[in-house]
Structure 1
Amino acid sequence: MPEQWKFDHRGPIRVEGGIKARSKRGSIAQTWWSQRFIEVLESFGMGGRLQRGKKYARSGQVLNLTLSTSVVVGLVQGSRPEPYRARIGVKAFSPQQWAHIERELAGQALYAAKLLAGEMPTDLEGVFAELGLELFPSTMRELTMDCSCPDWEIPCKHLAATCYLLAESFDEDPFQILAWRGRSREELLDRLRTLRGTQQVVAEETSAEAPLSEHLHDFWTSPSPARTPEVPAPGTPVIDELEPLPVTVDGTPVTDLLRPAYRAFRGGE
């Protein structure tokens, strides 16, 4: 057997300062979206093989984890001096698909409000499904995995450890899922704010202006000049600046009876 295909059964080289899973026992994923990610992987028949990586994830064997559009890369220390490079890939959505997603999210106030507040709506998958898209891969064909280790099984323990720490990164920041699919947190929120602002302006203009069909008769006429408010003459009693009071005393309007008193008060100022 060639040297590069021989396995070292002495166990991994222990490292200091690696990324350790926060969970010490039981399930690693805590939120619905990270649990969903692990469920998807297990649905591909990976459940047993994923378990092999839990020990690596909890003991800090993953030295580094980076996420970019379509690709997650983990550097995992195994039994050899050179760390293994584990990669998990998924297809990013196209700019056109993201434009549809953003319009749909912006058009629903609850989704937009939660995302702008940094929360992941519980039924976000449904929004993608309505557009014929899937937030999480549904088949192995949509997910690619490879590792530089000599283990031929997929996922190997290095990939499995990377998957678990990726799930925990989703716990900490759900926008990582969307970034993996091609839209960073900043880009998505900027687009939602822009779209929400545009929709607000359109809604206000629509509610404030009558349809064009109601103005066909005067479309080409000049608009009516704005009404200039009347300014009371100097010395006018305050009571005369108000609407007349609908009260009379022996047939005399109460305003006429009160006017001398208001003039007297004004004269004493």
Structure 2
Amino acid sequence: MSGYGTDRESEELTFAAPPPVRGGAFTRTWWGQAWLKALDDSALDAQQVKAGRRHARAGAVGAVSVRPGRITAVVRDPDGGAYRGDVLVRVLTDEEWDRLLDLAVDSAGHIAALLDHEMPPHLVEDAAGVGVELLPGVGDLEPECACEAWDHCPHTAALCHQMARILDEDPFALLLLRGRGQRAVVDALQARSAARAGGAGAGAPRDAGTGSAPAGVSAAEAYALRDILPPLPDVPVPEAVPGEPPSLDTETDPEPGVEPAALEFLAADTAARAHRLLTELLAGRPTPPGVAATGLTVAEDAVRLAAGRPPAWVAGRLAARTGRSRAGLDLATRAWRWGGAPALAVLEESWTPDEAALARAAARLAEAWEDGEGPELSRSGARWTVAGAEAELRLGEDGRWWPYRHEGGVWTPVGPADRDPAAALTTATGEGERDG
């Protein structure tokens, strides 16, 4: 069976709407880029595709439903209107699925990559070699929209861009779109592998030419298949709050130079950090900057501790022991809260970009204001100050832009870093606050 859409499998996945995208490439994987190239090659009006990209960047696409042959989402227009958009893709036939699964079982590397949520390029190439097209090509993304456009409109283009982000994280969504979900694919791979292993056992027929038994399952393939056999254990649930550290208030006098209250504070900080790391890990969220506290200098760790809003006497000790004033420590902790050690480095360190870094920065600035109506900026080292405004952009060594504002006679960090200098400048000037 083939065609656009099918009822042979009821599996459906729904992906929650992600946050808006600010600057940078829309997709980071080669298969996500191939998906968007199919959109660019299929759409007759490039302006509609660009409008869809802006919609997707702005977070206008709702939850995306993926099922065999169809993806669906509601897309909002800037004027508040909402339209259901669908994009249809041909479902593979049963015979095509057999060829694809046989290819995957033939290579342990293909299986291992799929289980690691990667789309191995050799699998796509090998599949194309036997007439199975996994990734869409020209004309393969068929649009349907409630706005009644006959070609790709901003709504279906936005949906396609959102799907590219989904494919970045879960290429199995592409297999589901082609007709079979992850569980069905894994079960089929397991059955094929087991059948091949059984066929090479003690009673297996011998090759007529050599008299030897057919080859069995390679060690690499067996190792790659290990993860699909046993079920995974349930994810543990962490305690709601970190445990209480032991009290050091005893009848025994401490050793000279040892402050029990300071040790209790450090123990509580360690317990809270460990609890937060475990909670973030189990929730599948990235660790916030500075929480891991690995590889920090003494001065950086002092700022990290101060950013946790300790008692005033602890903050005073941290400032004194690191040669900072209280005002200087407050400014450093403000930077830390926006981005950890990288944000602190931008505040306290001065570096001069080389010619290559300056060229990349100039290209970013030109791209951010394509209409040429950007602000007048004067550069000093890695800092770009806005003429006639109390705003500044600072370039980090990783290529991200940090917003700064002149407050109380001091250049102060006012937001997180952004790959898009225009977005960072909006934060620095406070336009986003006024708009909000």
TM-score (norm 1): 0.64
User: Is the 8 Å Cα contact of residues 87 and 146 (structure 1) preserved in structure 2?
Assistant: yes
* Bigger shift: residues 114-123 or 64-73: 114-123
User: Is the 8 Å Cα contact of residues 56 and 62 (structure 1) preserved in structure 2?
Assistant: yes
**Residues of 2 paired with 1:31 and 1:73: CA distance?**
22
1:88 Cα deviation from its structure 2 partner: 0.2
1:113 Cα deviation from its structure 2 partner: 2.7
Matches for 1:188-267 after TM superposition, within 5 Å: 188-205=185-202
Give yes or no for the alignment of 1:175 onto 2:164.
Answer: no
**Residues of 2 paired with 1:82 and 1:55: CA distance?**
16
Distance 1:209-1:144 versus aligned 2 partners, 3 A rule = closer
1:21 Cα deviation from its structure 2 partner: 5.1
**Residues of 1 paired with 2:89 and 2:95: CA distance?**
18
Matches for 1:84-233 after TM superposition, within 5 Å: 84-140=83-139, 142-149=140-147, 152=149, 154-205=151-202
SS of the residue 1:62 aligns to = coil
User: Is the 8 Å Cα contact of residues 73 and 86 (structure 2) preserved in structure 1?
Assistant: yes
Distance 1:154-1:213 versus aligned 2 partners, 3 A rule = closer
**Residues of 2 paired with 1:214 and 1:65: CA distance?**
55
Matches for 1:6-21 after TM superposition, within 5 Å: 19-20=17-18
Distance 1:153-1:27 versus aligned 2 partners, 3 A rule = farther
User: Is the 8 Å Cα contact of residues 54 and 161 (structure 1) preserved in structure 2?
Assistant: yes
**Residues of 1 paired with 2:60 and 2:128: CA distance?**
37
Residue in structure 1 matched with residue 254 of structure 2 by the alignment: none
TM-score (norm 2): 0.41
Paired residue for 2:25, among 24, 27, 34? 27
Aligned residue type for 1:139: V
SS of the residue 1:87 aligns to = strand
Identity among equivalent positions (%) equals 26
Distance 1:76-1:211 versus aligned 2 partners, 3 A rule = closer
**Residues of 1 paired with 2:109 and 2:77: CA distance?**
46
User: Is the 8 Å Cα contact of residues 86 and 147 (structure 1) preserved in structure 2?
Assistant: yes
* Bigger shift: residues 116-125 or 154-163: 116-125
Distance 1:205-1:115 versus aligned 2 partners, 3 A rule = farther
**Residues of 1 paired with 2:179 and 2:75: CA distance?**
25
SS of the residue 1:63 aligns to = coil
1:109 Cα deviation from its structure 2 partner: 2.2
User: Is the 8 Å Cα contact of residues 102 and 192 (structure 1) preserved in structure 2?
Assistant: yes
Matches for 1:28-43 after TM superposition, within 5 Å: 28-43=26-41
Gap regions ≥5 residues in structure 1: 1-17, 216-269
User: Is the 8 Å Cα contact of residues 104 and 123 (structure 2) preserved in structure 1?
Assistant: no
Higher RCO, 1 or 2 (CA under 8 Å, sep at least 6)?
1
1:90 Cα deviation from its structure 2 partner: 0.7
Aligned residue type for 1:119: E
Aligned residue type for 1:102: L
Aligned residue type for 2:144: D
Residue in structure 2 matched with residue 44 of structure 1 by the alignment: 42
1:52 Cα deviation from its structure 2 partner: 0.8
Distance 1:211-1:96 versus aligned 2 partners, 3 A rule = closer
Residue in structure 2 matched with residue 75 of structure 1 by the alignment: 74
1:118 Cα deviation from its structure 2 partner: 3.4
**Residues of 2 paired with 1:44 and 1:117: CA distance?**
30
Greater Rg over alpha carbons, structure: 1
1:170 Cα deviation from its structure 2 partner: 0.3
Distance 1:210-1:44 versus aligned 2 partners, 3 A rule = closer
Aligned residue type for 1:173: D
**Residues of 2 paired with 1:86 and 1:210: CA distance?**
57
Q: CA RMSD in A?
A: 2.7
Aligned residue type for 1:180: L
Distance 1:211-1:157 versus aligned 2 partners, 3 A rule = closer
1:133 Cα deviation from its structure 2 partner: 1.9
In the TM superposition, what whole-angstrom CA distance separates every residue of 1:202-241 from its partner, at most 9, and x where no partner exists? 23447x77568999xxxxxxxxxxxxxxxxxxxxxxxxxx
What is the total number of aligned residue pairs between the two structures? 195
Aligned residue type for 2:172: F
**Residues of 2 paired with 1:44 and 1:91: CA distance?**
15
1:54 Cα deviation from its structure 2 partner: 2.0
User: Is the 8 Å Cα contact of residues 88 and 141 (structure 2) preserved in structure 1?
Assistant: yes
In the TM superposition, what whole-angstrom CA distance separates every residue of 1:35-81 from its partner, at most 9, and x where no partner exists? 11111221235544311112211222112211100000110122666
1:143 Cα deviation from its structure 2 partner: 2.8
Distance 1:103-1:205 versus aligned 2 partners, 3 A rule = farther
Aligned residue type for 1:156: C
